[in-house]
Chains A and B, each alone.
Chain A
Amino acid sequence: MTIEITNAVKCRGVSKVFSQGELAVHALTDIDLDIAAGEFVCLSGSSGSGKTTLLNMIGGLDVATTGEITVAGKRLDKMPMSELADLRLQHIGFVFQAYNLIPVLSARENVEFVMQLQGIEADQRRVNAMEILQQVGLTGMEDRRPAELSGGQQQRVAVARAIVSKPALILADEPTANLDSENSDKLMTLMRELNSQIGTTFIISTHDEGVMAFAKRLIRLHDGRIVSDEAI
């Protein structure tokens, strides 16, 4: 008996070329990739290998130069902007590499932001946000603004926001970059729990061997190409 696994993400022949003046930068070349619902994938590769670019394509934040990307059964290149926005809001949780929090909102309000756009009731939002902030170890810092938090604390708020509304797919770009190994392990454990308990699909980019240890599947990128793809 075979169980049919629905693909959470499907990439076919995806390439991305940035033109910088006369120079063409091939950030991604001919990527074929299937990620099933419920997988826990790590993307590794040296700096400039194309991790962020790939995550952006899958998240519908950038458009592939050639190739097709399908997320949750929908072709992203065929979607208008507002539908893409809705797909991101309802379906995908993001942790960005460089800039994550709205400066004028407190940690709790940042976590509530996505839930608010989703139309979740204020009481429910608050309960969820407090709970998740506690899980990422930020109890007592709920009312601080991003500027009053350290880089690692900000990153944990961003992870909290990405997972709080339990989206089907979470794209996390170096979520542990600013964390010590203890906090990094805690965060990874939390994500793994979420993955095994409710089947959230994770794609996490990282440089960190410690993080890769949590992966169920490890994909290595080099110069915009997949050089290895193995289940662990």
Chain B
Amino acid sequence: MSPGSQHTSWSIVFRIAWRNLWRNHRRSLIMLSAIALGLWGMIWMTALMRGMVDQMIDSSIKTLSGHIQIHAPGYLDDPSIEYLMPPLDESPALQSLLGTDDVVAWSQRIRVPAVIRSERDVIAVTLVGIDPEKEKGLSFIGDSVTEGDYLTSVDDNKLLVGKKLLERLETRLNRRVVLMSQDPENNIAERGFRIGGMFDTDLEATETGYVFAGLETVRKMLKMGPGVSEISLLSHDYRQLDPLLEKTRSAAPAADVKSWIEQDPYMGSMLAVMDGFVLVWFTVIFLALSFGLVNTLLMAVFERTREIGLVQALGMKSTNILYMVLIESIIMLLMGLAAGNILSWLTILPLKDGIDVSSVAAGMEFAGMSSTLLPAVKMYDVVLANLLVLVLGIAASLFPAWRASRKVPIEAITRVWQ
């Protein structure tokens, strides 16, 4: 073999790295646990954050907004009976779009401000006329009726009232209430309803803010023509709505088409804040980890000065010595990550039905939190956390590895030290 042809002898580099790792058991185990716990912290924190955000978004979408909403221009500024959309038969393009695979569910609604009156109290609400079948799977009302009956058709003349509103009105199921609103001619429209069902949601504001009746019943009460206030539709993924949004806009050029996030900018900014928070959290954990890692490796390299000098003297190239330290670090990182992933999985698995946070949830209902928190483990987050620790961990090890590969003064191995 000619000089200059020293190859990287991976087997020896690996063997020494592996055995070096276990020379100081305690130190290595502490570092391994730190990596494992760090990863666990990253995965848990993101899972909780994502769970929270998902729940908030889900409840916002379910409340009535859907993924995309279509209104007559002007309605969103003044949600009254004056701003109505023409019936669907008059816009065939929109009608056929609603029939495509992109749209999972959709429904039409009449939605007007109203006042509800019981024997005891008068409360302002939003009266929503719905198509009961089509609301199932689209908004919360389809599966939130816990007492009494859900509406059976658009002509159903019973009323669905929220649990909290029932309490405030001091009335009960099957009692009568009166609803008042305005018809298109600005006259008072009034109608008595029997309370047919009570709905229960996590959000007090939803329970007190809305009452539901059959679409055609409301239409008759308000003496209005064939128009509707809104069309709400649900697609597949709330993060990927842009293509459908485009199509909807071109199918209904005269209408005001909005995605849930445009409709609820508060939720959008909440999302951004959460993402930022996750990043800060990752950074903090990682800084602590890399500090420990660099420290551990430097200590090890320092302790091994003599043998590093020895392998240099025997002719091992500095790149191989660099690899030796890097591989030790990579093995440590990979084992720590494996342990961290297992730990995360073991601790999150039993909680897949949610964590009961009702004790703190009351204060957070405004934000759309419910009383159970469902940790949402996203593959993307787990992979990101793992990659982050691995890649940045290797980067942090470069310095100690470089230190090791520098020339050791020859006295380290040729002088007998007293």
A-to-B contact residues, CB < 8 Å? 52, 55-56, 59, 61-62, 81-83, 85-91, 94, 96-105, 109, 113-114, 116-119, 122, 173
Contacts and interface: CB of A to CB of B under 8 A. Distances in A.
B3 interface: yes
Given A104-B20, A118-B1, A94 B9 contact: no
A86 B6 contact: yes
B266 interface: no
Nearest to B19: A104
Nearest to B415: A98
A72 to B, nearest CB: 9
A119 B9 contact: yes
Given A104-B20, A116-B12, A96 B413 contact: yes
A104 to B, nearest CB: 4
A102 B318 contact: no
Contacts of A103: 23, 307
B26 interface: no
B11 interface: yes
B93 interface: no
Contact of B310 (A55, A90, A99, A122): A99
B28 to A, nearest CB: 13
A56 B415 CA distance: 11
Interface of B: 1-7, 9, 11-12, 15-16, 19-20, 23, 306-307, 309-318, 320, 407, 410, 412-417
Contact of B12 (A83, A101, A113): A113
B414 A56 contact: yes
B306 A99 contact: yes
Contacts of A62: 410
Contact of B15 (A82, A83, A109, A117): A109
Nearest to B20: A104
Contacts of B413: 96, 98-100
B416 A97 contact: yes
Given A52-B415, A104-B20, A88 B313 contact: yes
Contacts of B311: 102, 113
Contact of B314 (A56, A81, A114): A114
A232 B314 CA distance: 31
A86 B3 contact: yes
B307 A98 contact: no
A79 B15 CA distance: 30
17 contacts: A52-B414, A52-B415, A59-B313, A82-B318, A86-B315, A87-B3, A87-B315, A89-B316, A97-B414, A97-B415, A98-B413, A102-B16, A104-B20, A105-B16, A117-B315, A117-B320, A119-B5
Contacts of A91: 3
Nearest to A122: B11
Contacts of B306: 99
A86 B310 CA distance: 14
A103 B20 CA distance: 9
B240 to A, nearest CB: 53
Given A117-B6, A119-B7, A102 B1 contact: no
A83 B12 CA distance: 21
Contacts of B12: 113, 116-117
Contact of B316 (A55, A96, A109, A117): A117
Contacts of A114: 314-315
Given A117-B6, A119-B1, A119-B7, A85 B316 contact: yes
B1 A90 contact: yes
Nearest to B312: A85
Contact of A105 (B5, B15, B407): B15
Nearest to B9: A116
Nearest to B315: A89
A173 B411 CA distance: 13
Contacts of A94: 313-314
A109 B13 CA distance: 12
Contacts of B417: 98
Contacts of A116: 9, 11-12
B111 to A, nearest CB: 75
B380 to A, nearest CB: 40
Contacts of A118: 1, 6
A98 B414 contact: yes
Residue from B1, B12, B320, B415 with most neighbouring chain A CB atoms (10 Å) = B12
Nearest to A145: B19
A100 B3 contact: no
Pick the 4 closest A-B CB pairs, nearest first. A89-B315, A104-B19, A88-B315, A99-B413
Contacts of B315: 85-90, 114, 117
Contacts of B416: 97-98
Given A89-B315, A105-B15, 13 more contacts: A56-B410, A85-B316, A86-B5, A88-B315, A102-B310, A103-B23, A103-B307, A113-B311, A113-B314, A117-B314, A117-B315, A119-B7, A122-B11
Contacts of A85: 6, 312, 315-318
A55 B415 CA distance: 12
Nearest to B320: A117
Contacts of B6: 85-86, 89, 117-119
A41 B78 CA distance: 105
A56 B413 CA distance: 11
Contacts of B415: 52, 97-98
Contact of B3 (A83, A96, A105): A83
A99 B410 CA distance: 11
Contacts of A98: 413-417
